[in-house]
Amino acid sequence: MDGHTVSYSQTTLTELMIPAYANFGGKIHGGTLLSLMDKVAYVCASKHAGNYCVTVSVDNVNFLEPAEVGDLVSMIASVNYVGSTSLVVGIRVVAENVQTASIRHTNTCYFTMVAKGADGSKAEVPPLILEDSEEIRRFAGALKRRRLRRYMNERMDEYKSNFSVDSETRAFLAGERCEIRVED
């Protein structure tokens, strides 16, 4: 299977933020932005994979600055990592105020997508051809996040299976904004 370069599937989606996208505070709903990010992740992943792709997870969704009504919001998506059937698409979100020409980085996040064949089963994806040190850094960073997520999930599963309300739990929660009304 021949590989594809990062630039082969890189995709940008730009949309004008209209009043219907805003919350009561006049800022754009995070859900609206997530929907747009999901679309651009799908296009980018599907182009690389040559197949339909579905979203499996979204990492690092931190809204750094709000997008405003009237902004042009651009989502720049690139495949950062590929496994055998999965892809990680990195998305950089920027908002541009066309009146002042100011551009603000509002978000960076990572969508994990899985390629699906015509029969709905997982499909193998082409390798990713890395052409510069930034692309290598992004690939390695995605692999690191993947391994850390697996490690964290395993530790949380252990924590949940061994959990009890005991003196250690009470000490851990001391000073937090909660009241424990359960006996040991």
R_g (Cα) of the chain, nearest Å: 20
pLDDT given for residue 26 in this prediction = 87
- For the chain, which residues make up each domain, given as ranges? 4-130
pLDDT given for residue 183 in this prediction = 79
Partner residues linked to 84 by β-bridges: none
DSSP type of residue 20: G
pLDDT given for residue 60 in this prediction = 87
Give backbone dihedrals phi and psi of 27, rounded to 5 degrees, phi first.
-95, 155
Which tens digits make up the pLDDT trace of 76-110? 999 999 999 999 999 999 999 999 999 999 999 99
Which tens digits make up the pLDDT trace of 151-160? 999 999 999 9
> pTM value?
0.91
Write out the two tokens for 127: 């390798």
pLDDT given for residue 56 in this prediction = 96
What mean pLDDT is predicted for residues 142-152?
95
pLDDT given for residue 1 in this prediction = 79
Distance of alpha carbon 137 from alpha carbon 37, whole angstroms: 22
CATH code of domain 4-130: 3.10.129.10
pLDDT at residue 184 is higher than 80: no
Which tens digits make up the pLDDT trace of 156-183? 999 999 999 999 999 999 999 999 998 7
Q: What DSSP string runs through 100-169?
A: TTEEEEEEEEEEEEEEE-TTSSB---PPEEP-SHHHHHHHHHHHHHHHHHHHHHHHHHHHHHT---SHHH
What mean pLDDT is predicted for residues 120-142?
98
Which tens digits make up the pLDDT trace of 25-75? 889 999 999 999 999 999 999 999 999 999 999 998 999 999 999 999 999
pLDDT given for residue 69 in this prediction = 96
Cβ atoms 6, 135 nearer than 8 A: yes
Cβ atoms 80, 142 nearer than 8 A: yes
pLDDT given for residue 129 in this prediction = 98
